[in-house]
Amino acid sequence: MPSSAPVVLATPFKHPPVTLFDTSPTFQMALQQLRTVAGIINLDPGIAERLSVPKRSMVVGIPIRMDDGSTHTFIGYRVQHSLTSGASKGGLRYAPHVDLGEVAALAMWMTWKCGIMNLPFAGAKGGVACDPAALSLGEKERLTRRFTEEVQAIIGPRIDVMAPDMGTDEQTMAWIYDTYSMKIGYACPEIVTGKPVELGGCIGRREATGRGVVYCIRAAMEELKIALDQSTAVVQGFGNVGSVTCDELHRLGVKVTAVGDRYGAIRNLKGLDVPALLRYAADEKNKRKTVVGFPGAEEIAPADLLTTPCTILVPAAMERLITAENASRLRCRILAEGANGPTTPEADTILAGSDVYIIPDVLCNAGGVTVSYFEWVQDIQQFMWSEEDVNNELRKLMLNAFKRVRKLAIERNLTNRMAALSLGVQKVANEKAKRGLFP
Ligand code: NAD
């Protein structure tokens, strides 16, 4: 026996964690909603089981060269919840907390959303665990191109089509479009939506989610007989969805009194000067693009933002921020969910006993995927629509969905969320039943 084995020192290296679905509270939340809806619509247990499991998931390591010469391996995810209704469709998110369960939950919600809107898509979502604010433009481009390369096997204009979400934008989509087109040898704009207009993007896609949120708010206010010019709004998140929602509400005469982002929150009870705030957040010198420091407002604690009294509260940041802890302290009449999954089921139960009128995420923020559908159709047909056509069609589809949700909610005495989810789940379940089970 050798008396002394050679001593080998372990090489230290970072290991990015990868979690599976069921450990994720966000995925558990989506599952819990599905279970409740299954009871409401008396869903066939075999179909419910199929819908509870994402159809296809891919986890990829994305090694890229950082600007300082080092190598960093990011973890990326693409989850296609369902392939039943057509190509799968959903955003790509860059955020530090992204994991497989969160992406799977968001993919499932996309399936229900496309179902509610009657779009020929199923749900998907993607994400890369990274802090986009800490990456240079070059690092973001290399990350995006390498991610596209890694998931190439499961994407395609008739298979899975990406769009922007939190932390990604038109430029991200332009890089995906270019990388995919280079691989296949010809320009394929329909591989992504939310592209720059010069590359086949749809006029009005950038504003579509916020506009859709506001169409829903207007419909709710009409029903509740609340005047726009006597209303106030508080908006959490000042990115794509939050800033456009603020802009649209301000144009309609609603006083936006408080807004917040990941860096903090600000308030002006007389009403924020929204056009000035939009310029402030977009200013080159404002590197973090934050609302914090805006001269026309006082800073407030971020935790106080959601409980600020207002007519309309719009969470437009991220999931699970309205919880059992703060739900009873909301002081709004309308909760318009711009973000995906902002309200936990426990908070939902508390709010169901209050007079808060909820416009649930799967309906409220569906304007984005709706105009993404318009963009995909235009790219395939190579026939582009006017902004007027886009906005008119968007309004028509959003109001139609809003009416169908309210009708079901009233007829069956359901919350708006359960009515919306019932419509979405039922549509996909019907398709699955008609198509049958392969083989
Ligand atoms: P974005 O990256 O453009 O903006 C996100 C905003 O939220 C930023 O202002 C950020 O600072 C803020 N934020 C992040 N974490 C926060 C926190 N903990 N507290 C407060 N603010 C926080 O993202 P987006 O595209 O506007 O997406 C926002 C939400 O809307 C997400 O839930 C997304 O899934 C959903 N959504 C987006 C679209 C779309 O078309 N972009 C469509 C449907 C749904």
Residue 13: per-residue pLDDT: 67
Same domain, 112 and 227: no
Q: What's the whole-number mean pLDDT along residues 315-331?
A: 97
Q: What's the whole-number mean pLDDT along residues 21-32?
A: 93
Q: What's the whole-number mean pLDDT along residues 259-281?
A: 98
Are residues 299 and 321 in contact, defined by beta-carbon separation less than 8 angstroms?
Answer: no
Residue 413: per-residue pLDDT: 97
Pocket of ligand 1 (CB under 6 A): 164-167, 209, 236-242, 260-262, 316-318, 338-340, 365, 368
Asked whether the predicted pLDDT for residue 2 surpasses 60, the reply is no
Among protein residues, the one whose CA lies closest to atom 32 of ligand 1? 339
Same domain, 131 and 62: yes
- Is residue 372 assigned to a domain? no
Question: What confidence tier does 283 reach under pLDDT thresholds 50, 70, 90?
Answer: very high
Residue 9: per-residue pLDDT: 77
Asked whether the predicted pLDDT for residue 3 surpasses 60, the reply is no
Q: How far apart are CA 241 and CA 216, in angstroms?
A: 14
H helices of 121-204, in order, are 137-151, 170-184
Same domain, 261 and 214: yes
Q: What does the mean pLDDT of the chain come to?
A: 96
Same domain, 88 and 151: yes
Question: Closest ligand 1 atom to the C-alpha of 263?
Answer: 11
Its domain, for residue 107, covers 53-187
Q: How far apart are CA 293 and CA 295, in angstroms?
A: 6
Question: What confidence tier does 224 reach under pLDDT thresholds 50, 70, 90?
Answer: very high
Type and span of the H or E element at 88:
strand 87-95
CATH (domain of 181)? 3.40.50.10860
Residue 365: per-residue pLDDT: 98
Same domain, 358 and 223: yes
Share of the chain above pLDDT 90, in %: 94
Residue 10: per-residue pLDDT: 77
- Ligand 1 centre to CA of 432 (Å) is 32
* Total domains in the fold of the chain: 2
Question: What confidence tier does 14 reach under pLDDT thresholds 50, 70, 90?
Answer: confident
Catalytic one among 55, 89, 125, 140? 125
Q: What's the whole-number mean pLDDT along residues 16-37?
A: 88
Are residues 92 and 57 in contact, defined by beta-carbon separation less than 8 angstroms?
Answer: no
- Ligand 1 centre to CA of 340 (Å) is 9
Q: What is the pLDDT of residues 133-165, one digit of tens each?
A: 999 999 999 999 999 999 999 999 999 999 999
Residue 94: per-residue pLDDT: 98
SS3 132: helix
With vertex at residue 94, the alpha carbon angle to CA 93 and CA 100, rounded to the nearest 5 degrees, is 65
Residue 7: per-residue pLDDT: 82
- Ligand 1 centre to CA of 130 (Å) is 15
Question: What confidence tier does 6 reach under pLDDT thresholds 50, 70, 90?
Answer: confident
Q: What is the pLDDT of residues 93-140, one digit of tens each?
A: 999 999 999 999 999 999 999 999 999 999 999 999 999 999 999 999
- Ligand 1 centre to CA of 339 (Å) is 6
Question: Starting at the edge strand that comes first in sequence, how are the strands of the sheet with 121-129 ordered?
Answer: 56-65, 71-80, 121-129, 87-95, 160-164
Active site residue 183: no
- Is residue 305 assigned to a domain? yes
Asked whether the predicted pLDDT for residue 429 surpasses 80, the reply is yes
Asked whether the predicted pLDDT for residue 435 surpasses 60, the reply is yes
Q: What's the whole-number mean pLDDT along residues 427-432?
A: 97
Same domain, 240 and 158: no
Residue 103: per-residue pLDDT: 97
Share of the chain above pLDDT 70, in %: 97
Same domain, 114 and 241: no
Asked whether the predicted pLDDT for residue 339 surpasses 60, the reply is yes
- Is residue 223 assigned to a domain? yes
Which of 364, 395, 413 delimits the end of a domain? 364
